[in-house]
Structures are given as structure tokens and as C-alpha cells.
């Protein structure tokens, strides 16, 4: 039982799979809210989805930190990468999953606005001038890197199915 929790060379364990698929679902929601902001401006759909964007983004950041710690703890027994490209791709996914919400939080802090997540006050906010480098950084990079993460994720899903179809590596089996 304890063993099923951990990864093995042939399969990701329960914890890794729960984090992967749970977060995949939450990312679908997160990108829906970003898309609603662009394509359904000033509609009920936007106010419904967009209202969750910051809070869910923070939840995803907490989850990805836990997931990275778990990945490191299981590094020696995880299924081996099928290629260097796969390894780099997964690393890039981690990098963006951490950078995108972190940059948003830096911008939020610099804006001086308060931030509550699930009823917890994370930032009290402040009076006075914005901290320009913080708001500029987010304005420049948050949305752009967010869309880059979506593009990389689409590539990731396509590659997972291609590996299954075209090579002997049925990588899907070890994550399902």
C-alpha cells in the first residue's frame, strides 16, 4: 500500500497521478477563465469564470510546489524519460507552472491592492504609489507566458498520444 503511493520505474504512483490529473483539470478551468476574459468580455460567463482566476492561480502555485518536491523525492524511481526532449519539455512545463502565477503575485503585490485567497488575507495591500517594476513585469510577462504554457501543454498532450501510436513507448499507460 505504502508502495503504491510512490513512483516506480514502470509507473507513476498514486500521489503523482492524482497531482497530474487533478492539476490538469484545474488548468482547463484556469485557461477557460483567461479565454473568457479575451473572447467573452462583459458577459455573465466572464464574470463567472474570471472571478476565480486569481484564487485558483494561487492554489495551482501551491500544488505545483508540492508536486515538484514530490517529483524530486521520487526522482530515482520514476519511469525514465523517453528522450532528452521529453525531459526538457517536462522541465519547461514546471518552469512555466511556477513562473506564471509567481509573476502575477509580484504584480499584485506591487499594485498595492489586497489579495484574499479562500478567505485568507495573503496581501494586506498598501496606500500610495504602485511599485512600477513589479506591475510592469506582470504586464509584460504574465499573460504572454500564460499562453505559452497553454501552447506547451497542447504540444505535451499531442506528444503523449503520438508516442503511444508511433513508438513502443506507451507513456500514457504509466500515468493513467
Using the Cα atoms of residue 147, residue 18, residue 70 and residue 118 in order, give the sign of their dihedral: positive
Q: With binding defined as CB under 6 A, does residue 109 bind ligand HEM?
A: no
Tell me whether residue 127 or residue 164 sits nearer to ligand HEM (CB atom).
164
Question: Among residues 58, 106, 109, 110, which is the contact residue for ligand HEM, using CB under 6 A?
Answer: 58
Q: With binding defined as CB under 6 A, does residue 100 bind ligand HEM?
A: yes
Instruction: Give the separation between CA 153 and CA 102, rounded to whole angstroms.
Output: 19
Question: Cα angle at 75 between 65 and 145, to 5 degrees?
Answer: 40
Question: Among residues 90, 112, 130, 137, which is the contact residue for ligand HEM, using CB under 6 A?
Answer: 90
Tell me whether residue 97 or residue 134 sits nearer to ligand HEM (CB atom).
97
Q: With binding defined as CB under 6 A, does residue 94 bind ligand HEM?
A: yes
Instruction: Tell me if 34 sits within 8 A of 53, measured CB to CB.
Output: yes
Q: With binding defined as CB under 6 A, does residue 30 bind ligand HEM?
A: yes
Q: With binding defined as CB under 6 A, does residue 160 bind ligand HEM?
A: yes
Long-range Cβ contacts of 128-135 (<8 Å, 24+ apart)? 134/106, 134/107, 134/109, 134/110, 135/107, 135/110, 135/111
| Bridge pairing between strands 120-123 and 115-117 | antiparallel
**Which residue ranges make up the site for ligand HEM (CB under 6 A)?**
16, 20, 24, 27, 30, 34, 37-38, 53-54, 57-58, 60, 71, 79, 81-82, 86, 90, 93-94, 97, 100-101, 104-105, 108, 138, 142-143, 146-147, 149, 153, 156-157, 160, 171-172, 174-175
Amino acid at each position: 500500500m505504502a508502495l503504491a503511493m510512490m513512483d516506480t520505474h514502470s509507473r507513476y504512483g498514486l500521489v503523482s497521478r492524482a497531482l497530474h490529473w487533478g492539476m490538469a483539470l484545474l488548468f482547463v478551468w484556469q485557461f477557460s477563465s483567461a479565454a473568457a476574459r479575451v473572447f467573452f468580455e462583459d458577459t455573465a460567463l466572464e464574470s463567472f469564470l474570471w472571478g476565480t482566476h486569481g484564487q485558483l492561480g494561487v492554489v495551482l502555485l501551491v500544488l505545483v510546489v508540492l508536486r515538484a518536491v514530490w517529483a524530486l523525492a521520487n526522482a530515482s524511481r520514476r519511469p525514465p524519460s523517453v528522450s532528452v526532449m521529453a525531459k526538457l519539455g517536462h522541465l519547461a512545463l514546471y518552469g512555466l507552472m511556477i513562473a506564471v502565477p509567481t509573476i502575477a503575485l509580484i504584480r499584485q503585490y506591487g499594485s498595492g491592492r489586497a489579495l484574499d485567497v479562500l478567505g485568507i488575507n495573503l496581501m494586506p495591500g498598501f496606500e500610495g504609489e504602485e511599485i512600477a517594476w513589479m506591475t510592469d513585469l506582470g504586464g509584460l510577462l504574465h499573460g504572454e507566458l500564460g499562453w505559452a504554457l497553454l501552447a506547451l501543454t497542447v504540444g505535451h498532450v499531442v506528444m503523449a498520444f503520438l508516442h503511444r501510436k508511433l513508438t513502443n513507448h506507451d507513456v500514457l499507460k504509466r500515468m493513467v
